[in-house]
Amino acid sequence: MSVGGELLIGLLILVGLLGIIIPILPGVILVFGVILAWAIITGGATAWTVFAISTVFLVLSGVIKYTWPGRKMKDAGVSNRALFLGAVLGIVGFFVIPVVGLFVGFVLGVYLSELQRLGQNQPAWQATKHALKGVGLSMLIELFGALLATATWITGALVA
């Protein structure tokens, strides 16, 4: 692959990494797809090994992203209903208040759900803070897996 092609692949991977931090783009899917495209175009054992290792990192981080923070939130007493309502209001908020509405809607949805369930402001706010920590941890895990996949691609691109 030409240097220009490698730079384009690297730029698209960077966009995918940004999509993990700013959840507008499907970050992990983009990183996966770009590394797959690179492996197809480059061809050879090295490219496919890079793709396989990157896929393992992305899949493992995806599994851990849902299990570890989810368990921590469950242990903290955050209800699944609150997370669901937070996600729904986050999506609505994204369209009502561009970009920041996702965050505002999620917080509002979790808080209102927990306030209705618990009946008191302080415990509802504590549950909301635990949900935010869980979402933050989930994003960090996803970013870490994508960074490992990116490092694998960089290594493979230098070798291939």
Closest-CA residue to 63 (of 122, 118, 138): 138
Give the pair of three-digit tokens for residue 73: 């939130």
Query: What is the model's pLDDT at position 46?
Result: 94
Quote the mean pLDDT of the chain: 90
Whether the predicted pLDDT of 2 surpasses 90: no
Query: What is the model's pLDDT at position 55?
Result: 97
CB atoms within 10 A of CB 71: 11
- Domain spans, the chain: 3-158
More reliable by pLDDT, 103 or 1: 103
Share of the chain above pLDDT 90, in %: 53
Whether the predicted pLDDT of 160 surpasses 80: no
3-state secondary structure string across 59-102: HHHHHHHHHHHHHHHHHCCCCHHHHHHHHHHHHHHHHHCCCHHH
CB atoms within 10 A of CB 3: 7
Query: What is the model's pLDDT at position 67?
Result: 87
Give the pair of three-digit tokens for residue 31: 């990183």
Whether the predicted pLDDT of 14 surpasses 90: yes
Average pLDDT over residues 132-159: 93
